[in-house]
Amino acid sequence: MFGEREFAWDKAIYFPAGLKGFPDHNVFALASFPGDGATPFILMQCLTEPELAFIVAPYNLESGTIRPEHLEQAFNIHGIKKNDGAVLLIVTLHKPEDSDVVMSLNLRAPIIIDTSRQAAYQHHLPEAGGYSFHHVLN
């Protein structure tokens, strides 16, 4: 899908519960897209199913788009120390009829990563936060 790549298994990220809709796919690797490195997006490739890959975007913990207390709660639930925590957002591309491609981020179910253990979890944030599954990027 995104060209042929080689990934090191020792750098893989393990999802104990898989991703929503993909519970049996637990091992992924991250890679930059080819080019000048200017894109903020990352390829998250399943290592056991080559046809399964996601475009993700690193979340800036200082941005405030997701309330800090909700991220802190997610880190605590998964036993992640704040300094070891990272967040990725799954990117979706939509092509509405009679319109240009629309890019959105899943703010409601971010990927929470424990960088020290190379473990990750897709965590559903509280509905009360008003987070969208399709937060449109302008």
Q: Which class is domain 9-136?
A: mainly beta
Give, for all 138 residues of the chain, the pLDDT tens digit.
455 667 778 889 999 999 999 999 999 999 887 776 778 899 999 999 989 999 999 998 888 899 999 999 999 999 999 899 999 999 998 888 888 888 899 999 999 999 999 999 999 998 878 888 988 887
pLDDT recorded at residue 17: 93
The β-bridge partners of 111 are 88, 122
pLDDT at 62: 85
* pLDDT tens-digit series, residues 109-126: 999 999 999 999 999 998
Is residue 85 within 8 Å of 112, Cβ to Cβ?
Answer: yes
3-class DSSP state of 128: helix
Measured in degrees and rounded to the nearest 5, phi and psi for residue 69 equal: -70, -30
Runs of H (alpha helix) within 6-125: 68-77
- One-letter identity of residue 26: N
Please say whether the beta carbons of 78 and 110 come within 8 A. Answer: no
Q: What is the pTM of this model?
A: 0.88
